[in-house]
Amino acid sequence: MIYPRLLALVFAACVLSSSSAREITTEEIKEKAALGFHLLSFAAGAEPVWKSEEETDALVSKHAHFIDVTDTYEDDLAYKAASFVKELLVVSYPPPSHQREIAPIIGNVSLSTMQGYLTKLTSFNNRYYKAPSGQEASVWIRNTVADVITQYPTSKASVSLYVHPSWLQNSIVAKIPGSVNPNGAVTILGAHMDSIGGGDLMTSRAPGADDDGTGTVNLLEAFRVLMKGEFRPATPVEFHWYALSPLAMYGLSCSYYMCRYSGEEAGLRGSGAIAADYKKNNVQVKSMLQLDMTAYVKPGTQPVIAFMPDYTNANLTEFAGRLVDTYTTAKWVISEPCGYGCSDHASWHNRDYPAILPFEGLFSNINKVIHTPGDTVNVTGFSWSHSLEYAKLAAAFAYELGA
């Protein structure tokens, strides 16, 4: 209760303060963007500034904290101004109630299938959002999902590339239609597909095994077992793999605008574009679960699923905690805050959709080799058995909320 209200006040303050600053006009955004400039927000409440493509890449390489607001500046400003007077959404969730149906489905979650997916995913030189290999990885994800759907045609599920006009890599959106209420509020599960290795991001090696190969393959596997188990949700369920988002875990300080980048690794733009789209088209979202890094257990610590307390919905976190207790063998805790919109859930949260981030452990115990060529499955602490629990959690989340 307190948290969303505080947020509304922060938004209001931002909108008010920005009205006294220099106006950035539609024409200016069009012209500058066409020349390859990026509009970057470095702190909540501060006016965003223009940076060239080269300057932006250099900031990404340095893991600077910013959000690219080029595509959403105007929509978000308009939305935030409106939300100042809007009733805040209240969400509550019933206890888990589909144990009988879900148990056999998550019983089919396969470690070797996930390992096979990750081997393929990490074999692309990198999954940078502007690199041809980043685009190839997104097509591979689409094809992998399409192959699963082909095996279960009566599911009526579909998958498509979500094209981002400003860069090469696509996001991927898979949809399982609602059988009772096809236009009902959507349950969304997300992960980001892009990866960065440091240095020259176009060419440097970026296996991105933990960040976010793990979340990506957890969702592929959750999708597969749900299809196999003939999951027919009453309301729509969607799986998203976002292009461009890797700066996330380095602290893109999420301003009131949004984290933007399909590349989570470059400012959450993929998820930002999709969430802005849904908001604009009045799509109701019941819940959003983001998986971003699910394998690393710091040596000497006990494995825990750690829910991020900031930029997330506390009621949905509590609900997902009960899913962890009911459907997995894991323990869960609340992490210390990451302090910024550290992954794509923030793109949804900041647009007033309930979202959560069950992270691989306490934020202070984060895998330190992400965003380097060393982010592989061979890192000491990389735990497949820990990551497996997130695939079960994802399948249970989709089932309980979609059913």
Q: Which residues bind ligand NAG (CB under 6 A)?
A: 1, 4, 90-92, 104-105, 108, 228-229, 313-315, 376-378
Residue owning tokens 């996330």: 248
If the CB atoms of residues 154 and 378 are measured against ligand NAG, the closer one turns out to be 378
Q: How far apart are CA 8 and CA 14, in angstroms?
A: 10
Give the dihedral of Cα atoms 194, 185, 252, 317; nearest 10 deg. Answer: -110
If the CB atoms of residues 12 and 91 are measured against ligand NAG, the closer one turns out to be 91
- Residue-level length of the chain: 403
- Considering the rule CB under 5 A, would residue 211 count as an interface residue with Zn ion? yes
At residue 250, φ and ψ (nearest 5 deg) are: -100, 0
Residue 90 binds: one of Zn ion, ligand NAG, none (C-beta under 5 to 8 A by kind): ligand NAG
Task: Specify the 3-state DSSP secondary structure of 233.
Answer: coil
Query: Which residue of the chain is nearest ligand NAG when measured via CB?
Result: 92
Shortest Å, Cβ 374 to ligand NAG: 9
Residue 376 binds: one of ligand NAG, Zn ion, none (C-beta under 5 to 8 A by kind): ligand NAG
- Residues with catalytic annotation? 192, 211, 264-265, 292, 371
Angle at 287 between CA 318 and CA 181, to 5 degrees: 130
Residue 1 binds: one of Zn ion, ligand NAG, none (C-beta under 5 to 8 A by kind): ligand NAG
Token digits of residue 331: 């323990």
Token digits of residue 178: 């609602």
Candidates 205-213, 252-260, 278-286, 316-324: pick the segment binding Zn ion (CB under 5 A).
205-213
Specify whether the CB–CB gap between 341 and 252 falls below 8 A.
yes
At residue 90, φ and ψ (nearest 5 deg) are: -105, 125
Q: How far apart are CA 236 and CA 275, in angstroms?
A: 16
Residue 202 binds: one of Zn ion, ligand NAG, none (C-beta under 5 to 8 A by kind): none
Instruction: Find the helix packing angle between 215-228 and 111-123, rounded to 10°.
Output: 130
Shortest Å, Cβ 184 to ligand NAG: 19
Specify whether the CB–CB gap between 233 and 174 falls below 8 A.
no
Residue 105 binds: one of Zn ion, ligand NAG, none (C-beta under 5 to 8 A by kind): ligand NAG
Token digits of residue 155: 């599911």
If the CB atoms of residues 251 and 373 are measured against ligand NAG, the closer one turns out to be 373
Shortest Å, Cβ 28 to Zn ion: 31
- Considering the rule CB under 5 A, would residue 292 count as an interface residue with Zn ion? yes
If the CB atoms of residues 39 and 289 are measured against ligand NAG, the closer one turns out to be 289
Q: Mention every residue, 6+ apart, whose C-beta is less than 8 A from residue 348.
A: 188, 271, 275, 285, 288, 290, 354, 355
Shortest Å, Cβ 72 to Zn ion: 20
- Considering the rule CB under 5 A, would residue 191 count as an interface residue with Zn ion? no
Using CB under 5 A, which residues numbered 238 to 257 contact Zn ion? Answer: 248-249
Q: What residues line the site for Zn ion (CB under 5 A)?
A: 211-212, 248-249, 264, 292
